[in-house]
Amino acid sequence: MDDAGGGLASAAVHHNARSPEDVFRDYRARRAGIVKALTTDVEKFYQQCDPEKENLCLYGLPNETWEVTLPAEEVPPELPEPALGINFARDGMIEKDWLSLVAVHSDAWLLSVAFYFGARFGFDKEARRRLFTMVNGLPTVYEIVTGVAKKQPKPSNGGSKSSKSNSKPSRQSNSNSKPAKLSHPKDEEDNGQEDAQDEEQAYLCGSCGETYANGEFWICCDICEKWFHGKCVRITPAKAEHIKHYKCPACSSKRSRE
């Protein structure tokens, strides 16, 4: 488990990177790995969290992958450690509740790693604020896993094949170049500048959690109604033409275990 906890240490941050932007890139990559474990790779993740094994941890790695393994042997460890023993509760809880619990602990770990580097590199108040602002601009892993940040209505045509194959997801009855906007009731009370900023953060992939960019191919799951980058779920526009009812990997995995 040489790379699980200290992946950043083996890369640029230890020697070259010292800015909040560098630490944020590491945070975003680790977060992407964890999001994959709890969404598109959920079946594989579930199987690896065997309650019969020892205390296991979920690590997000700087190359946007994830790993379930034992905690670091050295004390104190290279980096803050994730929640220990996530596998023990797997069969004692409803799966979605267990995944949500792992997501919450993962959010706490990601933040602790980011601010560990902030302290290590001597970030001042302004640098810490900049780092937190960037981190806070992304939805939490918990919000992605539970769908809290993605209450998206289906396209007006009922999610037909044509809407799935369209490279530009539609927003209810109006054709739009972005997926359905998220619900932010509080934003309605904010000023125009904040609304414009939220507009850019509101279009999120159910797999990687990243925002929508013009021209990207997206597809909507008919079960959970979340939008996904085609590349994240390995669906091309041509392939989507032949899909009548699309089920994302997470929904497909749930169905296979029922």
Look up the CATH number of the domain holding residue 212: 3.30.40.10
Domain count, the chain: 2
Q: Do 136 and 45 fall within a single domain?
A: yes
- Asked if residue 207 and residue 126 are part of one domain, the reply reads no
DSSP 8-state code for residue 191? -
pLDDT at 232: 85
Q: Output the pLDDT for position 175.
A: 35
Full residue range of the structural domain in which residue 27 is found: 20-146
Same domain, 114 and 229: no
Average pLDDT, the chain: 77
Q: What is the pLDDT of residue 253?
A: 74
Q: Is residue 187 part of a domain?
A: no
* Res 200: pLDDT: 42
163 in a structural domain:
no
Residue 85 lies in a domain: yes
Specify the residue for token string 């359905």. 180
Q: What is the pLDDT of residues 229-255, one digit of tens each?
A: 888 888 888 888 888 888 888 888 765
**195 found inside a domain:** no
Residues 47 and 139 in one domain: yes
Q: What would the DSSP string read from start to end of 126-166?
A: HHHHHHHHHHHTSPPHHHHHHTTT---PPPTT-S-HHHHH-
Domain co-membership, 122 together with 206: no
pLDDT at 192: 46
Residue 217 and residue 123 in one domain: no
Q: Are residues 47 and 133 in the same domain?
A: yes
Own/partner long-range contacts of 63-69 (Cβ < 8 Å, ≥24 apart) = 63/7, 63/29, 63/33, 64/29, 64/32, 64/33, 64/36, 65/33, 65/36, 66/33, 66/34, 66/36, 66/37, 66/41, 67/1, 67/3, 67/4, 68/37, 69/1, 69/4
Q: Please indicate, yes or no, whether residues 211 and 112 belong to a single structural domain of this protein.
A: no
Structural domain includes residue 159: no
The confidence score (pLDDT) of residue 91 equals 93
The residues, any chain, with a CB within 8 Å of residue 190's CB and separated by 6 or more, are 198
- Is position 78 within any domain? yes
Decide if 4 is inside a domain.
no
Which parts of the chain have pLDDT scores under 50? 1-5, 7-15, 152-168, 170-202
The pLDDT > 90 percentage for the chain reads 47
Q: Is residue 44 part of a domain?
A: yes
